[in-house]
Structure 1
């Protein structure tokens, strides 16, 4: 039974740049640079028939390439931080790509994604990391220089059931640039 999600790949040069931020945070389990990505739609553990339906349905999407700008370090989890992330600027094309995937996945019978879409790259998963340590880490790196890349495709990833962070495998790729 595959565990699937859709996402945008992070270019290798940008991933390498982001990986230089690793270290200096107790309780952080750093994600390997080759596993950095933007999740667009988590699909979850599904059977092979539904996986085929997902792959075929995603092939219907026609959107232009999109520019993504990473511009801020942040964390998820508030007083109990669970991940260190780099957020992306709001982008109508990115939001529409994600929303279309959500609509299509619901149309083929998958339950709605309960989490609000927040475009980001996860740098580290956190365990028992005090909120003040995360705030200090972010403050020390507060002059985060914006980084931009162009996404020319989105992908369908699979992962093995494990405690987050990969490894991820590309099952299919869908070009951006063929808007109808």
Structure 2
């Protein structure tokens, strides 16, 4: 008989918005010179691009259903936001990102609401303040030149305006080593408020 206690199954979870495909394609075209110049950077897959509202980290799988009803209600009562992708920047010379323009005050209010309902669902949340961005790539150790140089490719980039369609509850499999992180919707809900 095995008396060892098995750890509970966990999943890495976050709540996010996803730009529409045509807005992501527009940004990918602007990034083409950086893709070509820095193929060694860890470029996020375009289908995984998102704007994180709340990163919850590793949660027990059994806890995640507590978020479904509150997130569905929030989305149902919330109007869509008008946003766009604009310019680029870097965090610590290691992370390349695109900025967010449009209804940024509304984006902050939505993030605050999401974070409040996470706490109300009994899930501890002590996240960082929201810095609206879309993460594009990370530098590999020892190859930090690509991020600062790639920021210049996005100077003056002004993406088309788009309307948020859905609120996404996302799970990720944290890849170690060269494999990219993969994201999948656990669930998502349309913004249908007036």
> Is this a same-fold pair by TM over 0.5?
yes
**TM score, norm. by length of structure 1:** 0.86
Map of 1:43 onto structure 2: 56
The RMSD of aligned alpha carbons is 2.1
Distance 2:28 2:153 in 1: 16
The CA deviation at 1:56 is: 2.2
Shift of 1:140: 4.5
Distance 1:19 1:107, change over 3 A: same
Structure 1 Cα separation of the partners of residues 12 and 144 of structure 2: 31
Aligned equivalent of 1:169: 184
Hey, what does 1:83 align to over in structure 2?
95
Partner of 1:99: 112
The CA distance in 1 between the partners of 2:58 and 2:182, in whole Å, is: 16
Please list every run of at least 4 consecutive aligned residues from structure 1 whose deviation after the TM superposition is greater than 4 angstroms.
none
Compute the TM-score of the two structures, normalised by the length of structure 2.
0.80
Unaligned runs of 5+ residues in structure 1 are none
Alignment CA distance shift 1:6-1:141 (3 Å): closer
Greater Rg over alpha carbons, structure: 2
Deviations 1:81-100 (A, max 9, x none): 22100011261221111100
Query: In the TM superposition, what whole-angstrom CA distance separates every residue of 1:132-151 from its partner, at most 9, and x where no partner exists?
Result: x5333323442212332111
Point out the structure with the larger helix share.
Answer: 2
Does the alignment pair 1:52 with 2:59? no
For residues 1-180 of structure 1, what are the structure 2 equivalents within 5 Å?
Answer: 1-20=10-29, 21=31, 22-25=35-38, 27-61=40-74, 62-77=77-92, 81-89=93-101, 91-127=104-140, 128-130=142-144, 133-163=146-176, 165-178=180-193
Structure 2 stretches lacking a partner, 5+ long = 1-9
TM superposition shift of 1:73 = 0.8
**Number of residue pairs matched by the alignment:** 175
- Alignment check: 8 A CA contact 2:56 2:125 kept: no
